[in-house]
Amino acid sequence: MPFKFGSIEGVAKGDTFPSRKSLGESGVHAPIQAGIWGREKEGACSIVLSGGYENDIDDLDYIKYTGEGGLDSRKKLVRNQEFTRGNRALQLSFEYNLPVRVSRGYQIPNGPTEGYRYDGLYYVSFVERVRVDNGFFICRFHLQSEDSFADLEKKLLKTFKESYSITRRVATSISRIERNVALAEKIKDLYQNRCQVCGVHLKKPSGAISVGAHIRGLGKPHDGPDSIQNMMCLCPNHHAQFDAFTFYIEPNNFEIVGLEGYEGKKIKVSARHKIDRSFLNYHKGLCLDVIT
């Protein structure tokens, strides 16, 4: 079966298949047992939800998904999960914004009455490696459907179990995150496009290169606000490292922690820039999960 990203010709959202074998023959998800269909150097094109981990979340349009590995024969986590194999493939899907086909099995509440159902394309919105209650690390992936919740539920409704109840949501959310360009430009102007970490001003023919970076990320799972209090002005390199949880800013004194060459130094903070320290504390917590 060819390894392919995106939709499969002839397969529509809501199509069901009696078995994993038939799901594979359709081209949606080839592996008979593995939940992730991916390659370490190319990305992951498909996953199957079948109730593997109790802490996973499935809200139809949003999925919190635990990666593969670390389980014994009783499906108990006995060692750390690593960003290898399927987990590394899903990590690449996040880094390169690759579409991931999602199928749900009969084993889970939002799955079909029997067999497996293809539920369309999702995108990995966030990746983390976190310590769980038993002390081991898992690789966790957050995925968002390309469809709105209402559209997805409407397309799949006829395939749900009898126990499924239609979810009522307040009609205020949208699938695309709206970023206020004016706020990003304001924070960059405030620091004259100089990185608050290194102080570097990167010139280009038409001005300068800098990033209005959010401290607590927008969208799920972070749900941070698009506000000046939740932003910093960073150079592209330190923005990438900050988002990858390479370092954090100590909320109490704005000291840089974990960044080689800047350990113990403090970020520059303008008197006109009131950073909300709770966002720094949130980011610090995620960093500590990654590096400890």
pLDDT at 171: 46
5-57 pLDDT per residue, tens: 999 999 999 999 999 999 999 999 999 999 999 999 999 999 999 987 778 89
Residues paired with 122 in a beta bridge: 100, 145
Q: Which residue has the higher pLDDT, 165 or 32?
A: 32
If pLDDT is split at 50, 70 and 90, which confidence band does 177 have? low
Nearest to 280 by CA among 191, 213, 220: 213
User: CATH for 16-159, among 3.40.50.1370, 2.30.280.10, 2.60.40.10, 3.40.50.970?
Assistant: 2.30.280.10
Is residue 235 predicted with pLDDT exceeding 80?
yes
Is residue 77 predicted with pLDDT exceeding 90?
no
Is residue 180 predicted with pLDDT exceeding 90?
no
Residue 131 · residue 292 · CB < 8 Å? yes
Q: SS3 of 108, please?
A: coil
In one-letter notation, the amino acid at residue 223 is D
109-140 pLDDT per residue, tens: 999 999 999 999 999 998 988 888 788 999 99
Report residue 7 as tokens: 């939709």
Is residue 200 predicted with pLDDT exceeding 70?
yes
For range 253-275, the mean pLDDT: 95
pLDDT at 76: 85
Q: What is the 3-state secondary structure (H, E, C) of 148-216?
A: CHHHHHHHHHHHECCCCCCCCCCCCCCCCCCCCHHHHHHHHHHCCCCCCCCCCCEEECCEEECEEEECC
If pLDDT is split at 50, 70 and 90, which confidence band does 169 have? low
Rounded Cα distance between 202 and 223, Å, is 30
Is residue 268 predicted with pLDDT exceeding 50?
yes
Domain parsing of the chain, residue ranges: 16-159, 181-291
Report residue 112 as tokens: 């079909």
Rounded Cα distance between 270 and 103, Å, is 49
Is residue 174 predicted with pLDDT exceeding 70?
no
Rounded Cα distance between 55 and 34, Å, is 19
Rounded Cα distance between 244 and 246, Å, is 6
